[in-house]
Structures are given as C-alpha cells and as structure tokens.
Structure 1
Amino acid sequence: MIKHDFKDKIVVLTGAGGVLISQFAKAYADAGAKVALLDLNREAAKRNADEIKASGGIAFAYECNVLKKQSITDARNQIEKDLGTADILINGAGGNSPKATTDNEFHEETGLEDVKTFFDLDEEGISFVFNLNFLGTLLPTQVFAKDMIGKKGASILNVSSMNGFTPLTKIPAYSGAKAAISNFTEWLAVHFSHVNIRVNAIAPGFLVSNQNRGLLFNEDGTPTARANKILSNTPMGRFGEAEELLGGVLYLTDETASSFVNGVVLPIDGGFNAYSGV
C-alpha cells in the first residue's frame, strides 16, 4: 500500500458529520494530518472527531452552514485558533432531496396520475439541492482558499459525481449541480494556478449510503429496479465501498504524489463512466 504523509498538514472537511467524509477525515488523521470536521450537525461531526481522537489523531469538530458565508467564516476563525490555517480543503457537503426528484424516468402522455413529474418539482427543493452542492462548494472555497495562497502543497478537492459526466434520470437538480462542480473544479484549477493551489475532484460511482438506500433497496433488502440498472451498467458488477475512494482522495491532495495534477475530475466508479451499455 502506498504511504501518504500528511504530517502537520491542516485538513478542513465540510460535510464531515456524514459517513463518507468522516472516512476521509480518518484517513488524513491516520496519515498525520490535523483535521477539522465541519457539518451543520455539530454533534455528528463531534462523534466522528471523537473517534479519531480515541485512535490517537488530532481532530476538532465545528458547526458550519456551507450556505452561509458568515457561518463558514466563524468556523474558519475558530479553526485558526485551534489548529492554524488550512493547507487542504475537502468540499464534501452535498446531497439530494425528494422535493427535487421525479417519480418517473420518462415523461409519457398518459398514466401519470399520482405521479410526481418534472412539472411538479418543488422550486424551493430544486434551489436547495443546487445551492447545497454548488454554492456549498463555492462559498467554503472563498473563505478557506485565502489562507492557502502561496502555501507549499496547498490543495482543494471537490466531490463531483457520475452525474457530472452523464445526468441520471429523476434527479435534474442534483445532476446539474454536480456538472457545475466538475466545471467549477476546472475553473478554479486555472484561476489558482499562479498561487500554488491545486484543485481537483473525485467523481464517485455508486455507493450505498443512508441518502440513497431507499432508492436502491426494497424493504426486504432486494435490489430495486433502479439498483439493477446501475449494477448492469457497472462493468465490475457491484456497488463501491467508501474505503475505495480513499486512494484517489489521498493521491490527489498529496503534493509528493500528484504535484503536476491539476483540474482533473477522477471517476472512481467500477467502470460505469467508461461503459456504453453495449
């Protein structure tokens, strides 16, 4: 296994109350980093930080609303007091909402009684999903990147999705937001290229999480029709595990391993993006 050394690096992670980003935080702590776990739910972030500290790592938890710049700034100021200024930023906050999700994959002329169609999507739900993912990446970057200018090994990692390459059915706001994050990653990589900040992204394939479990599995634990479609279009024939993202995450933010990698959106997807279905 490749050994990544993040000794004394300060890594800030948004969305760190969740299972996925907390795994990233643990991996950085294991590699010697000091980690700041940010989440709207501070208690969830604190539980994850406490686990890291119990294993001998250095971790602090902070309440942070990634859609409110003042909230992000308040977290940034407290992090500076506790740890110092950020070397690496992981923009991990995001998610979808049923209010921005259609019931049907294809619109038909008939048979749409009691079906939530594209025309029924909630305006506030759409705004929330798009803003949570896109603005929830842009605003933390505005706040934390200022401290990273000119630092050795400074790096930003965004979390895109397979939706950033090809939109999935039913979730137009989420798909659009992830496409925007992929584009924004490339824009930032160019924008910060003269001040020594690299910007890349990962695009996870399909992992089972609390957010999507209801879409992927029936109450009896069998895969839904949507899950079977995903699996049949994933050449490796299975869902990914959160741990399988860690190699890409650490590689892209490791100044020794990827110092000339900039503006990349890395699929970690079991071949889903490469497969045409034929």
Structure 2
Amino acid sequence: MKNKRKETIKDLFDLTGKTALVTGASGGLGRDAARAYAECGAKVALLARRKEKLEDVVEEISQLGGEAIAIQCDVTDEEIVKDAVEEVIQQYGKIDILLNDSGVAVRGGVHNLTEEDWDKSMNTNVKGAYLLSKYVIPCMIKQNYGKVVNIASINAIIADKNDLFIRHSYNASKSAVLGLTKGMAASYGRYGITVNAVGPALFESEMTKDTLFKSDEFLKGYSKMNPAGRPAEKGELNGTLIYLSSDASSYVNGQFILVDGGISIV
C-alpha cells in the first residue's frame, strides 16, 4: 500500500519515521546531506570507506538529537555492498531513501588517462550507484515506496577546455549516472519509487578544496561567468536533496536538477 498523501506543506518535507542510506557520508556533500536528513527526522545509515570519519558524523548527528549508524563500505565491491545493505535493514527494518553520493574526479583527458584511472572513475561513480541500487531497490519494491537520489554533476552536461581541469572520465561517468537514473525511474515508478539526479556545480569539498579552490585564476573566472557571482556555499545542496527525498516530490521522477547558480544557462 502506498503512503497516504500528507496534508500540509510542512508535513511533505518531514522525514520522521524514514530511513536514509547515504554513501560517501564521511565528508563533503554526503556528510552535509546526512546531517540534513537527520535534522528532518530520518534515521541515517552512513556508508563510506573511512569508518573513523563516519563515527565523527554519527556523533554530530547524535548531538543534534538524531540517530545514525556507521558502516564501512567499499561501494565498488558487490559482496561488501550486499552485506552493508543487509545490516541497514537488520538495524532499521527498511530503507526509504538512498542517496548515492560516492564519487571521485580523476584529472586527465583520454590521451593521457591510464586504464586504471578510467576504471576508478567508472567503478566508483557508476558501478557504486548500480550496486547500492541493486540491493536497495528490492526493499523499496516490497514496501511500494522509495526515494533514490543520485549525485551526478554539472560536468555530466558541461565540460572544461582548460587543460588544468580536464576530467574526461568524470564527464563520462557522471553522464552515465544520468542514463542510469532515467532507466531506473522508468522501470520502478510503478512501485511508488522515484529516482532523480542532482547536478551540483562548484562546491568546496574534499574533492575540490585542494584543486579548484586553490586556483585563484579559476575561482575568479568561474565567479565572473556564474550569474550568482560565486561558488556554492556549504549546505546549498541540502534543500534540493530533501525535496527529492521527501513526499514533496511525489510526482517528480527521472529528472536532473542542476544546483549551479545558473552557470549552465550562460
């Protein structure tokens, strides 16, 4: 039976009673998202390779009055992913929300990328989302409800000609995430499951703070081009994630929402 339609706008964004599974939750956008889910009432399962970092996030959520568990997980390893999902279900009984946020950005063009670098991007960014979805979707089908949000990137549709920032494997992998999102959305909508993707532009994170944010030339150029006149600030992705993860987006499926300050339109 599908969930009953909530009556007020405030209720539509309420995640009380929901369980969210977040990959890449040890830092950056995943960590921020996990906190946001907890603040909206969800119980949160945190997955990443760095268990000690996850424990820090569990403590932060606990201090907010929320509940979370930390599970060490390599999203590219099927058996590890399967065990992690089973652990979440054993702990919380269900998974209502899946945020696929694990990702890497390997610098280089096809002329100088190693096969290892290519595989690293595709395995983490695409295979990881596939494996988590493979083991979470059956749970969602059984309960006839689910919200899957895949973190893609503005670089799924926009590339950079600056040699310092060419990342062809990142472009390809994030474009693949959009294809996966559409396919899943078309197949699983009948089960009360929505699948959408988000395309962040430039946010400071572990992935960008030592590269893009260290180039004054790049930041000046980016800010000049972007209608917002600046990179994104911490937390500015959370509203979109909560919207797509809540009943407020009950009829939004297979979409790609850019959170980019408008840079994609100029």
Same fold (TM over 0.5): yes
Distance in structure 1 (CA, Å) of the matches to 2:131 and 2:60: 28
Distance in structure 2 (CA, Å) of the matches to 1:270 and 1:187: 27
**Cross-structure match for 2:170:** 174
How far the C-alpha of 1:55 sits from its partner, in A, is 1.9
Structure 1 or 2: more helix by fraction: 2
**Cross-structure match for 1:49:** 58
How far the C-alpha of 1:82 sits from its partner, in A, is 1.6
Correspondence 1:194 to 2:190: yes
**Cross-structure match for 2:151:** 159
Deviations 1:128-186 (A, max 9, x none): 01211011111100011110015354110000110111223410000110111112111
**Cross-structure match for 2:3:** none
**Cross-structure match for 2:181:** 185
CA distance 1:217–1:57, shift in 2 (3 Å): closer
- 2:144, 2:191 within 8 Å by CA — same for their partners in 1? no
Distance in structure 2 (CA, Å) of the matches to 1:37 and 1:66: 12
- 1:192, 1:198 within 8 Å by CA — same for their partners in 2? yes
SS in 2 for 1:17: coil
SS in 2 for 1:120: coil
**Cross-structure match for 1:273:** 264
Distance in structure 2 (CA, Å) of the matches to 1:136 and 1:58: 25
Relative contact order: is structure 1 or structure 2 higher (C-alpha 8 Å, sep ≥ 6)? Answer: 2
Distance in structure 2 (CA, Å) of the matches to 1:247 and 1:215: 26
Distance in structure 2 (CA, Å) of the matches to 1:146 and 1:168: 38
- 1:150, 1:197 within 8 Å by CA — same for their partners in 2? no
Query: In the alignment, which of 107, 131, 147 is matched to residue 123 of structure 2?
Result: 131
- 2:126, 2:177 within 8 Å by CA — same for their partners in 1? yes
- 1:164, 1:175 within 8 Å by CA — same for their partners in 2? yes
Query: What percent identity do the matched residue pairs reach?
Result: 32
Correspondence 1:15 to 2:7: no
Superposition pairs of residues 240-255 of structure 1, within 5 angstroms: 240-255=232-247
Amino acid at match of 2:97: I
- 1:153, 1:254 within 8 Å by CA — same for their partners in 2? no
SS in 1 for 2:149: strand
Distance in structure 2 (CA, Å) of the matches to 1:133 and 1:186: 16
Superposition pairs of residues 232-247 of structure 1, within 5 angstroms: 232-247=224-239
Distance in structure 2 (CA, Å) of the matches to 1:226 and 1:187: 35
How far the C-alpha of 1:120 sits from its partner, in A, is 2.4
Amino acid at match of 1:235: P
**Cross-structure match for 2:45:** 36
- 1:168, 1:175 within 8 Å by CA — same for their partners in 2? no
- 1:215, 1:226 within 8 Å by CA — same for their partners in 2? no
Amino acid at match of 2:167: I
Amino acid at match of 1:266: I
TM-score (norm 2): 0.90
SS in 2 for 1:119: coil
Amino acid at match of 1:20: L
CA distance 1:94–1:217, shift in 2 (3 Å): closer
User: Highest Rg: 1 or 2?
Assistant: 1
How far the C-alpha of 1:213 sits from its partner, in A, is 2.0
TM-score (norm 1): 0.86
How far the C-alpha of 1:200 sits from its partner, in A, is 0.5
**Cross-structure match for 1:85:** 94
- 1:37, 1:45 within 8 Å by CA — same for their partners in 2? yes
How far the C-alpha of 1:210 sits from its partner, in A, is 2.3
SS in 1 for 2:189: coil
How far the C-alpha of 1:215 sits from its partner, in A, is 2.5
Amino acid at match of 1:130: M
Distance in structure 1 (CA, Å) of the matches to 2:191 and 2:182: 15
Correspondence 1:58 to 2:73: no
Q: CA RMSD in A?
A: 1.5
